Amino acid sequence: MPAFANWRTLLTLVALIIVTGTIFYSNYLANKIAADERQIVEAWAEAHRYIASAGPDDNITFASVMISSQQTIPVIETNEKDSITNFHNIDSADVAGDKEYLEKKIRDFAKNGPIITYLSSDSAKFNKYYYGESRLLKEVRYYPFVQLFIVALFILVTLNALNARHRAMQNQLWAGMAKETAHQLGTPVSALHGWVEMLRETGTDQDMVNEIEKDVVRLKLVSDRFSKIGSAPQLEQRDLIEALGNVMEYVKKRATDKVKFIMEADSEILKVPLSNPLFDWVIENLLKNALDAMEGRGEIKIQVHQHPGKVMIDITDTGKGMSSSHISKVFNPGFTTKKRGWGLGLTLSKRIIEDYHNGHLVVKSSEIGKGTTFRITIPKGS
């Protein structure tokens, strides 16, 4: 996780440097091009003035070439009364289709400030030249935003790829650990079954043998749960209410009398597709976490609500609750507030619900000193 976080930080830093540098340089280029374009329009306007005031013997070739060579910057010419007299590098079709098109363009071009040329020594008569930005200048101004989008898209794709790779590695690690644990438990559990039968045949106290057998069966169940991690489980239609009740009774026997267990459901029987050992593991883990949070006294409530196409299971305790910072990390591998434990219980529970049951496991609410509610949402299935 730290290495992945470092990659994200490095990518973000590189992206910020690239975008910031591009914005500053593009802004510098845009200002330089804008200054050059104003000089071009000033020379173009002066060429118009020269031709308008030229005598029969004056050579207007250079001025004419200068006027004809300016094919990039849109310009609108007006007289001293702001009446439009001419326009250049503007599509005539747009002008014909909208009578107010040129007036709108003048209002847009006014931000650059008009260039004024006096036709004669009489200052009462002059022309104004309103000009806009060339296509090149617009592309330079918009280039940083295009690059920002490309960089953001690149970072998003890269982070998603890194996240998928990181998650795949975690899944392989968890699945490998789980299967190895199940493999290691298999041999001693089988041997214990044999010893239980021998104790029963030798006349050992039956109550003692029965209790030992329960623990052996429990170990086999744990081994079975671990063996299913990493492989696609078989979901079977099962009564959800009965499954929740069985797990609650199991945990209740291991809690003190000061803990009250309550279960509320919309109906007495509710069939949903479940993987028996894995789903029971999730509920057992959530109930045990609730017990730990209450430190031996309080109330645990399981509420089951039906909705169109899905079922919601709320598990609420009256324990010490969690801060917002803990809520955001509670499903992260290795995170735990207990003195002992690996911090994988809620991580595996979330995976079992979301990957194997196509549902969701979230912290619905939590408040320091008042308790926490976890919500499981699973589809009803057919």
Gap between the Cα atoms of 66 and 206, Å rounded: 113
Distance between CA atoms of residues 216 and 193, nearest Å: 7
Band of residue 123 on the pLDDT scale cut at 50, 70, 90: low
| E strand or H helix that includes residue 370 | none
If pLDDT is split at 50, 70 and 90, which confidence band does 3 have? low
Span(s) in the chain for CATH 3.30.565.10: 232-379
pLDDT beyond 60 at 343: no
Q: Where are the alpha helices (DSSP H) in the chain?
A: 2-53, 61-69, 92-97, 101-109, 135-201, 206-228, 240-253, 276-294, 324-329, 345-351
Query: What SS3 state is found at 340?
Result: coil
Residue whose entry in the numeric block shows the structure tokens 């702001």: 82
Would you state the pLDDT for residue 118? 82
pLDDT in tens, 63-115: 888 888 888 899 999 988 888 888 888 888 878 777 788 888 888 888 888 88
The predicted pLDDT at position 61 comes to 87
For 11-45, the pLDDT digits (tens) are 778 877 877 888 888 888 888 998 998 999 889 88
User: Is the predicted pLDDT of residue 50 greater than 90, yes or no?
Assistant: no
- The structure tokens 């289709």 sit at 97
Which CATH entry fits the domain spanning 232-379: 3.40.50.920, 3.30.565.10, 3.40.50.300, 2.30.40.10? 3.30.565.10
Task: Report the share of the chain in percent with pLDDT over 90.
Answer: 21
Alpha carbon 80 to chain centroid, angstroms? 58
Backbone angles phi, psi at 122, to 5 degrees: -75, 110
Mean pLDDT along residues 169-173: 70
Q: Which residues pair with 299 in a beta bridge?
A: 260
Q: What is the pLDDT of residue 243?
A: 92
Q: What is the pLDDT of residues 280-333, one digit of tens each?
A: 889 999 999 999 888 888 999 999 999 888 999 999 999 989 888 888 888 877
Specify the DSSP class assigned to residue 335.
-
DSSP for 206-245, please give it. Answer: HHHHHHHHHHHHHHHHHHHHHHHTTSPPPPEEEEHHHHHH
In whole angstroms, give the CA distance from residue 67 to residue 87: 12
CB atoms within 10 A of CB 133: 21
CA distances from 18 to 21, 22, 97, 162, 349 (A): 5, 6, 43, 21, 41
Task: Show Cβ contacts of residue 243 under 8 Å, excluding neighbours closer than 6 positions.
Answer: 274, 276, 279, 280, 283
pLDDT of residue 301: 95
pLDDT at 241: 93
| pLDDT given at position 121 | 61
Identify the band that residue 239 occupies on the pLDDT scale cut at 50, 70 and 90. very high
Report, as an integer, the average pLDDT of 126-139.
88
- Choice between 131 and 15, residue whose per-residue pLDDT is larger: 131
